Amino acid sequence: MTSPRPTTNVADADPEARSELEPSSESTPRLVPPPAPASVPDSERGALESKRGVSVRLEQLRAFYGAAEQVKGLDLEFRPNEVTAIIGPSGCGKSTMVRCINRMHEEIPGARAEGRVMLDDLDVYDSSVDVVAVRRAIGMVFQKPNPFPTMSVFDNVASGLRLTSQRGGDLRGKVEAALRSAGLWGEVSDRLDEPGAGLSGGQQQRLCIARSLAVDPEVILMDEPCSALDPIATLKIEELIAELKRRVTIVIVTHNMQQAARVADRTAFMLDGKLVEVGPTQEIFTNPNDSRTEEYVTGKFG
C-alpha cells in the first residue's frame, strides 16, 4: 500500500480541533517533559501501558462570558488514573468548566477565567506557561467528531506530531500505536490513506481520540463524547475509556446517567455554576448527601 502523503495544512479544520495543533514557540519551556517514543504492541489494547496519571485541581475557578458568571468559585479535584463524570442540567456550567481546564474558554471573545487550575503542582494559568503545551498535555474530545476533513486517517493522527517538537522518530509507528490505543487499528489498518471523514461516526470519534493520544497527553477531557453516536459505537467508546484511564486522567461531561454509572469512578454534580457534591459514583447515585442530587439523578428535574 502506498504510504500516505504528508499533509500539514489545517486551515480548513474545525477551530476546536485546530487549537490542539498550533505550533509552540521553541523558546518557551514545555509544560511537561517530552514523551518517550511510542511503541507498537502486539495486541489492539496493548499500547495502553499503565502509568501514573496526574491530578487536576480546580481552586476557586470562576468563568465569565462578558459580565455573566457561568462558573462560580469551583473547588474540585480530578484524581490520577480515574474517570470523573460531571453531571448536571443544561446551562449549569459543565462544558464551560471543562474548557477552562485546557484554556480553551479564553478563546471565546469576551470570555475569561479566574482562579487556579493545577496540573499536579503547576498552575496552567501561570503567565510563564505555554498555552499550546497546556493543550498538548490536556487533550480534548468534543461532542461532535471533528476529524480534519481533507486529511487521510494517517494524517489526522500524525498532524499533531508533525506540528510539534515530536516530529522525529518512527512516525508510522507512533501513528499505529495511537490507533491501537484508541481501539481503531484493526478497523482502519488497510484504510490509512483514505479520508478520515469517510469513517463512521463512532470511528471518527475514536480517530479524534487517537489524534489526542498521539502527542501523549496527561489528561483527556471528554465533552458529551457519545451524544451523537449509536448504542454500539457508544459501547466501544465506553470500553475505550475504561482502558485509557490506565494511562491518563479522564474527565467526562455527560447527560446520560447510565453512562456515568457505567464508566465513572467518581461523579460530580453541578447546579447553577456551583458544585453541589462529588463522591464515588455508586454513592452519588444510591445515597447522595444532598437532596438536589437525589432529585436530579432520579429524573425529578433537569
Residue 16 pLDDT level (bands cut at 50, 70, 90): low
Rounded to whole angstroms, how far apart are CA atoms 124 and 249?
16
Residues 184-215 pLDDT 10s: 999 999 999 999 999 999 999 999 999 999 99
Residue 5 pLDDT level (bands cut at 50, 70, 90): very low
At residue 161, the pLDDT reads 86
pTM given for the model: 0.83
Domains of the chain and any CATH numbers: 54-297 (3.40.50.300)
At residue 38, the pLDDT reads 39
At residue 258, the pLDDT reads 94
Residue % of the chain over a pLDDT of 70:
81
Average pLDDT over residues 282-297: 96
Rounded to whole angstroms, how far apart are CA atoms 142 and 211?
12
Higher-pLDDT residue of 127, 5: 127
Residue 27 pLDDT level (bands cut at 50, 70, 90): very low
Average pLDDT over residues 147-167: 85
At residue 162, the pLDDT reads 85
At residue 204, the pLDDT reads 96
